[in-house]
Every structure is written in structure tokens, then in C-alpha cells.
Structure 1
Amino acid sequence: MEYEERFTDAELGKVIEQAMIYMCACPAQVADSVRKLRELYRYQLRCIAHPEHNMVVHAQIMQSTLQTHSIMQDCLDKVIELEKWDRSTLEMPVGLRKLQMQEIVSDR
């Protein structure tokens, strides 16, 4: 399986920022999971560069990370599509922002 980044790190940050501003944590949780999987992948690349490490273990971790990263990117794509975020700017839709703000106000 090939490593592919369908979202840049900056785009993941944008999703997290938008979701946190409007108190809609689910997309942020998915984006943060993708970022953490990227960190794990990069860490495994460094481990594999050391021949004294157990390559079988690191290959297994890397393969599982690649699969999970792909699944979570699919999930983020689908969440953005279902919630009708602007895919080019990764702005949360106005209607969803209003709904989140109404929930915040009504909780007071």
C-alpha cells in the first residue's frame, strides 16, 4: 500500500480550527487522528533506517498505519462531504455554523 496524503498538514489544521471555533469536535477528532497516524508513520520510517531494529515489527506497524491512515482520510473526506464543507477552503458551512452557535447559546 502506498502512502498518500490527501490533506496537507495545513488543511488538517484548518479542519481542526474550524471545528473547534464552532464547537463541532467530531471532524477535528478525525483530522487529529490523521495527523497522529502521520507522526507514527514518520517515526516508523526513522526506525526502519536502523538495521539493528527488528524490521518485522516495524514493517507490521508501518503496514497497519498505512491502512488506518487511508481509512481515516476516507472518513474525513466523507464527513466533509456529508456536512457539506467547502472542500477547497475547508470552511464549515454557514448552516452548520449557525446550528452550532444556536446550541452554544441555548446551553447557557
Structure 2
Amino acid sequence: MNIRFSNEIITSILQQSLVYTCSCPAQVCKAINEQRALFNYQKQCLNLTDTDKAVHQAIADTVEKTHAQLEQCLEDVLRLEGWDMDTYQMPETMQKRLISEFEDSLK
């Protein structure tokens, strides 16, 4: 499986998104993590019969295709929101806006 975003980058984006209650990137990161776990499971699962092999390969092939689409989606979302694509840091203006919105909700 080709991986555009390392596990470390996914974790960093997910953590920032959760800290600032910005759930869209977090949701995509969670889905990517789930797909990676599913792919790894399929590759490590016991293949006792030819049917087992075919089932696991079909699932792995589909996950590989949709994983690429989800990674593209994550990149699109990050670019739309103005994240730094070199450091994968949430823009400071977005952090301040989300904090301000949270503080306003407490009033």
C-alpha cells in the first residue's frame, strides 16, 4: 500500500484537530488509521483455503484503492483550511478562531 502521510503525520494532524475541536481533518485521519489496520489484518490473516486467500486479497485491494482516495481527501481538506503542507501544522488563525468560538460558547 502506498502511504502519502506517515503514521506520525496522521497522529499530529489528529491531535491538533482534537485539541482545537476541528473534527473534519480528525474524522478523515481516523478513517485512514482504520483502513490501515484493516489492510494489515488482511495481509496477516490466515489463508487456509483458496477462498480465504481470495477474500483477503479482495478486501486488501479495495482498501488500497480507497486509502489513496482518503489520503487525497485529507490533502484537499488541509489545503482548503490553510494548513502548512510542509510541517502539517494547523494555521494559527484557525486555532485562534476555534478557541474564540469555544470561549463564546461558554458565555
Query: In the alignment, does 2:106 pair up with 1:105?
Result: no
User: Which aligned segments of 4 or more residues in structure 1 are displaced greater than 6 angstroms?
Assistant: none
Cα RMSD, aligned residues only? 1.0
Measure, in 2, the Cα distance between the counterparts of 1:60 and 1:46.
14
Measure, in 1, the Cα distance between the counterparts of 2:95 and 2:20.
6
TM norm structure 2: 0.92
Identify which of 33, 48, 54 aligns with 1:52.
Answer: 48
Identify which of 61, 66, 70 aligns with 2:64.
Answer: 66
Shift of 1:107: 0.5
Shift of 1:63: 1.1
Q: Which has the higher helix share?
A: 2
| Alignment size in residue pairs | 104
The residue identity in structure 2 corresponding to 1:83 is E
TM norm structure 1: 0.91
- Match of 1:107, SS state, is helix
Which residue of structure 2 aligns with residue 26 of structure 1?
24
Unaligned runs of 5+ in 1: none
The residue identity in structure 1 corresponding to 2:26 is A
Counting aligned pairs with the same residue, the percent is 31
The residue identity in structure 2 corresponding to 1:88 is D
